[in-house]
Structure 1
Amino acid sequence: MRYIAKPSDQYLGSGSQRSIRSGAMRIQTSQAALQHGLGVVSRAVAARHSLDQLRHVHLEADDDGVRLTATDTEIAMICSIDAVVSEPGAITIPHRFINDLVSALSSSEITIDVAENSLVAQIRASDANESSINGMSPTTYPNIPGIGEGDWIKIVARDLRDALRHVVFAAATDDGRPVLTGVHFRFEGDKMTLAAADGFRLAVYDMNVASELSERLEITVPARALTELERLLTDDDSAVEMYIHADRTYVRFHVRAVQMTAQLIQGNYPSYDQLIPSEYQTRAILPGAVLQGGVRSAAVFARESSGIIRLIFNGESDDQNITLTARAEELGNHRGRVDAAIEGENSRIAYNVRYLQDVLQVASGPTVSEIAMETSGPSNPGVFRVVGRDNYVHVLMPMFVQWEDA
């Protein structure tokens, strides 16, 4: 749905409302609330940036309460905390310094004062500790984009958290192809599809959302931002509001008292639907925990050498199983076996053991009983699915190996 911001919606912290005076601020809050807020926004602090302001936290107080803001120009975090505002104002303070100080205080109540025309924050604790921290003018802090025309989507926190857990790890970590360092979001009606790929694997997750869009919408969100978002999400039915600006340059997530903004990655995301094999020659079904345990043993040897694990599907006998082998050069070899229900012909395939462990980590959770592995020979991509769920698929490229010693 489309949403046009009201004047009151334009302010979301970080210098968006210049009527708030620099300095002349007085607030009272609890040590726990301030420490929590500083901890939340710490994930967006640019600790090593050459721009001093980005190593600071922006502290602002007005009639609506107190907000802490941090940004590294790629993502921004705004956290509202409970506080009594006696005098509205704003200042930026070195994040590491105030965070270490507040963590060290044992006092339950903290007062922060900034005098008129001053850039020094006086911090007083109820246990008689008193400190002063030199800050910077809030007017020099980068602006965080506000709310304008765009699309709002409501998502259940538990569902979004599960989706992110299944796809974010598959995004690329190098900048060779920038668009692959993000997660692709595709909205059609009340359906949302998340996809991530790095050239060696592809994870796709489908889910429903509470808001229905009138037209198809596609964006790519940096994987790093989604990793931080996942930390904020709780395993419950609370609502997460996702706002996508009309010009498709940034996205904002509202999670309880926290707002996270991220720049969107520009560029066309690869068409991934056609990369998912629609047929297979061999399909094996077995408990995910069993396969995960077998791979874990083989990984001890695989990671000491080329990182390769070989899987041999033995399905043309009454004793159906998968043999797992790995080799550590000059150290030794490993051969294990796990029972499985196998459909189709005998087959074999080799994978990068770390990539295999990654997908098994998310596909073998406590609510998952069985997984299915599908292959069409050693040179074709393998497919992983969760039995009984059709909303998740993971495609993994094989490793090309010599098989005579398998």
Structure 2
Amino acid sequence: MDVTIAQSAFERALSVAGRAVPSRATLPTLTHVLLQAEPGRLKVAGTDLNLAIITWEEALVSEPGGITVPAKPLAEFIGALPDAPVHLQVNRQTWTLQIVCGPYETAMKGLDPEEYPILPEVEGDGFALDPEGFRQAIDQVTFAAATDESRPILTGVLMRREEGSALTLAAADGYRLSVKRLPVLRAPEGPFSVIVPAGALEEVARLLKGETDPVWMQLLRGRNQVGFRLGRAAVLSQLIEGQFPDFQAIIPRRWETRMEASREALLKACKALSVFAREASNAVRLILVPGEGERPGQVLLHSRSPEKGETRVELDALVEGNRLEIAFNVRFLIDVLEAIEGDRVVFEMTTSQSPVKVLSVGDPAFVHVVMPMFL
């Protein structure tokens, strides 16, 4: 391998691929990144066997080839170099990577790339998705996935498409549920239903920022994997096996009390209330008061800490139906209010102990359900 690449491009590639490299691994090669010189570009890849991130950068390739090198010291060294061309050359006898950049020169011990896990190509037909729409959908769903590994199914996001319908993303952790429907630009495959780790989709969303070309999603059924190809990067992830809960059965179909309010005003209020709610199980109490005559409806928010004190906020809101007092985990409210894109938010409730539906005015493709706390 004989390659010359811009220092900034190489540093960027190592930063992207390095996110999939575990800090510790039973296989030494998994703490490495794969460097593979291809015609006109350098491929950099990292994996922990469950997640793989691959990226490509333009490079002058005099001789193709590859090597694996410890990810962390390589990234630290390249990050310390001046903004100048970096020359990479591999000694296949000792599997050593020679690095020269201006007055800097080093030799790093590596391994034969044949020892690195095989990473399939994400090419060919697949689902084409709008990059910004897909990024927003991921952000609006993954926050509701569980982080507790005791129920692996709930740490993933259901991605389901029925014949002739949009792609549906859903995540739930037992206390809340987020669902988002997303149109597809191209869908050559038939119906499918898979569960993708939430963390893998968060890596895809991170890479999608600023992308304008469609993102391609491909199911690698023989390997129980899904691949996403976007711009000059690709993300591969193992799928989670099992049956995702019937989320449609969780979504309430009716309401007794309905509130519409400013999303920004409600979010600011919840952040202020969280200061006092932290020491009281994050509980915040809402009293929804319907309007009468010319007087608008109101939502009264209250949180109390035995040690720090208490705070109250009164906000104008459109409240229909019955007066209701209900409590929530304020962190759950903040999460969904930050995920919503619109200016107005709707809460539909039946009782103080029943699931609550949260909607974004102007975005019928998004639905959130959150369980209240006991008063």
Equivalence for 1:109 = 85
Q: 1:123 aligns with which of 88, 99, 104?
A: 99
Structure 1 residue 117: Cα displacement: 2.1
| Partner AA of 1:168 in structure 2 | T
Cα distance in 2 for partners of 1:45, 1:321 equals 50
Equivalence for 1:228 = 203
- CA separation of 1:321/1:248 partners in 2, compared to 1, >3 Å: closer, same or farther? farther
Q: 2:50 aligns with which of 45, 55, 74?
A: 74
Equivalence for 1:341 = 318
Query: TM-score, normalised on structure 2?
Result: 0.96
Cα distance in 1 for partners of 2:126, 2:34 equals 27
DSSP-derived class of the 2:149 partner: coil
| Partner AA of 1:345 in structure 2 | N
Kindly indicate whether residue 365 of structure 2 is the aligned counterpart of residue 391 of structure 1. Answer: yes
Equivalence for 1:249 = 224
User: Which string of whole-angstrom CA distances, capped at 9 and with x for unpartnered residues, describes residues 116-138 of structure 1?
Assistant: 4231111011x221111111111
- Higher mean alpha-carbon deviation, 196-205 vs 327-336, is at 327-336
Cα distance in 2 for partners of 1:134, 1:116 equals 11
Kindly indicate whether residue 170 of structure 2 is the aligned counterpart of residue 195 of structure 1. Answer: yes
DSSP-derived class of the 2:226 partner: strand
Cα distance in 1 for partners of 2:250, 2:109 equals 55
User: Which string of whole-angstrom CA distances, capped at 9 and with x for unpartnered residues, describes residues 253-288 of structure 1?
Assistant: 001010110000000111101110010001111110
Contact 2:287 2:325 in 1 (8 A): yes
| Partner AA of 2:309 in structure 1 | G
Contact 2:154 2:171 in 1 (8 A): yes
Kindly indicate whether residue 362 of structure 2 is the aligned counterpart of residue 400 of structure 1. Answer: no
DSSP-derived class of the 1:327 partner: strand
Cα distance in 1 for partners of 2:99, 2:143 equals 41
Structure 1 residue 190: Cα displacement: 4.6
- Higher mean alpha-carbon deviation, 344-353 vs 313-322, is at 313-322
Kindly indicate whether residue 279 of structure 2 is the aligned counterpart of residue 279 of structure 1. Answer: no
Gaps of 5+ in 2: none
Structure 1 residue 147: Cα displacement: 5.4
Kindly indicate whether residue 38 of structure 2 is the aligned counterpart of residue 62 of structure 1. Answer: yes
| Partner AA of 1:291 in structure 2 | L
Equivalence for 2:330 = 353
Q: 2:17 aligns with which of 24, 41, 49?
A: 41
Cα distance in 1 for partners of 2:87, 2:212 equals 35
Equivalent positions of 1:156-305 (< 5 A) are 156-188=130-162, 189-213=164-188, 215-235=190-210, 237-247=212-222, 249-305=224-280
Cα distance in 1 for partners of 2:81, 2:143 equals 37
Contact 1:151 1:245 in 2 (8 A): no
Structure 1 residue 87: Cα displacement: 1.2
DSSP-derived class of the 2:253 partner: coil
| Partner AA of 1:152 in structure 2 | G
Equivalence for 1:83 = 59
Q: 1:328 aligns with which of 300, 305, 310?
A: 305
User: Which string of whole-angstrom CA distances, capped at 9 and with x for unpartnered residues, describes residues 309-357 of structure 1?
Assistant: 0111010532410011111023312221111011111112111111111
Contact 1:187 1:213 in 2 (8 A): no
Cα distance in 2 for partners of 1:107, 1:192 equals 43
Contact 1:248 1:264 in 2 (8 A): no
Cα distance in 1 for partners of 2:222, 2:38 equals 30
DSSP-derived class of the 2:126 partner: strand
| Partner AA of 2:21 in structure 1 | V
Equivalence for 2:351 = 377
Query: TM-score, normalised on structure 1?
Result: 0.88
DSSP-derived class of the 1:253 partner: strand
Contact 2:288 2:325 in 1 (8 A): yes
Cα distance in 2 for partners of 1:272, 1:39 equals 37
Cα distance in 2 for partners of 1:235, 1:103 equals 23
DSSP-derived class of the 1:209 partner: coil
Cα distance in 2 for partners of 1:215, 1:252 equals 17
- Higher mean alpha-carbon deviation, 185-194 vs 91-100, is at 185-194
Percent of pairs identical after alignment?
A: 35
